[in-house]
A = this chain, B = another copy of it.
């Protein structure tokens, strides 16, 4: 199981590989939220999302002989790129199973990073888990699950170590940390890191409407599924249900989930563009959207939010700017 020692070990392996992202802010965002907003821009991470942390942590944790046979992953795109780059950096092959309706840029980037991409149709009910198991059997590759995987959670948790360190340096002892949440790997990792390093900071998962499985699961105390498995803008964080490993961690350590609309995610993307000069993808903007547009559901003088990724196709980004890009 993931714990703080595993996160610290992952941080040691990631040193010199993962980017140490800062906490950014803007007085214009503070005014909207009514409190100070600190943004952890994981869109600036290698491959454009935090997923590189978990991918590298998992690939680097494999034993040499296992790693040499290559790695296998399924992903809507960000985990794909993170694992692909980590595999390339270790000189081993990668096969990535991606939904055919993933953003074209994510599929193209994954291939450009040297991985073999296998597409499946998620709307038709094809199971990426079954495809993954089959390929694992055929090729003997190590499967790196996107979130229900202790080394992946540990890698994502390094984000939380950095948040704890920067918050302490700025004198922030108490704050909520809003995290973009799909399967819960980033949220669980951050929550574990904060528990050990910054107990006054509490993680809260943020999700898009209609895909709020984690919020409903936390509220009911039992794992809930989403009615749909695709659709909406926030492809990066759409998963069937919370993970079996991640959910108990979230249940023990996180505050209630926050839910935002796709339109709020687009508005947050436009504000990240104009006020922070950062490119966020819709799923990567839900935590910022929660901080800005659901401020009444958040507590404290400071709020910390992740922008978990920036891998968005141009047409969606232009939609955010044409609707919400006029900031004056």
Interface residues of A (CB under 8 A from B): 19, 22, 24, 27-28, 41, 43-44, 48, 104-105, 107-109, 112-113, 270, 273-274, 276-280, 310, 314, 317-318, 321-322, 325-328
> Within 8 Å CB of A113, what residues of B?
27
Q: Knowing A28-B112, A318-B322 touch, does A274 contact B105 (C-beta < 8 A)?
A: yes
Q: Knowing A24-B44, A278-B278, A279-B278 touch, does A325 contact B321 (C-beta < 8 A)?
A: no
With A27-B113, A109-B328 given, can you name 18 additional A-B contacts, CB distance below 8 Å?
A19-B22, A41-B277, A44-B277, A48-B277, A104-B328, A105-B274, A107-B328, A270-B314, A273-B279, A273-B317, A274-B314, A277-B278, A277-B310, A278-B278, A314-B327, A317-B321, A318-B325, A321-B321
Tell whether, in the assembled complex, residue A317 and residue B325 are in contact, meaning their CB atoms are under 8 Å apart: yes
> Which residue of chain B has its CB nearest to the CB of A307?
B277
Q: How far is the CA of A204 from the CA of B214 in the complex (A)?
A: 52
> Which residue of chain B has its CB nearest to the CB of A322?
B318
Return 20 A-B CB contacts under 8 Å, by A number: A19-B22, A27-B113, A28-B112, A44-B276, A44-B277, A44-B278, A104-B328, A105-B274, A105-B328, A274-B279, A277-B278, A277-B280, A278-B278, A314-B321, A314-B322, A317-B321, A318-B321, A318-B322, A318-B325, A321-B321
> Within 8 Å CB of A28, what residues of B?
109, 112
Quick one: copies of this chain in the complex? 2
CB distance from A98 to the nearest CB of B (A): 13
CB distance from A48 to the nearest CB of B (A): 6
Most B-side CB within 10 Å, residue of A24, A43, A277: A277
Task: Give 3 closest A-B pairs by Cβ, nearest first.
Answer: A314-B325, A108-B328, A277-B310
Q: How far is the CA of A327 from the CA of B314 in the complex (A)?
A: 9
Q: How far is the CA of A41 from the CA of B41 in the complex (A)?
A: 13
> Within 8 Å CB of A327, what residues of B?
105, 108, 314
Q: Knowing A22-B19, A28-B112, A112-B28 touch, does A43 contact B325 (C-beta < 8 A)?
A: no
CB distance from A229 to the nearest CB of B (A): 25
> Which residue of chain B has its CB nearest to the CB of A280?
B277
Q: How far is the CA of A44 from the CA of B104 in the complex (A)?
A: 27
Tell whether, in the assembled complex, residue B279 and residue A277 are in contact, meaning their CB atoms are under 8 Å apart: yes
Contact of A43 among B107, B277, B310 (CB under 8 A): B277
Q: How far is the CA of A22 from the CA of B317 in the complex (A)?
A: 25
Q: How far is the CA of A86 from the CA of B270 in the complex (A)?
A: 25
CB distance from A91 to the nearest CB of B (A): 15
CB distance from A12 to the nearest CB of B (A): 19
> Within 8 Å CB of A322, what residues of B?
314, 318
> Which residue of chain B has its CB nearest to the CB of A321?
B314
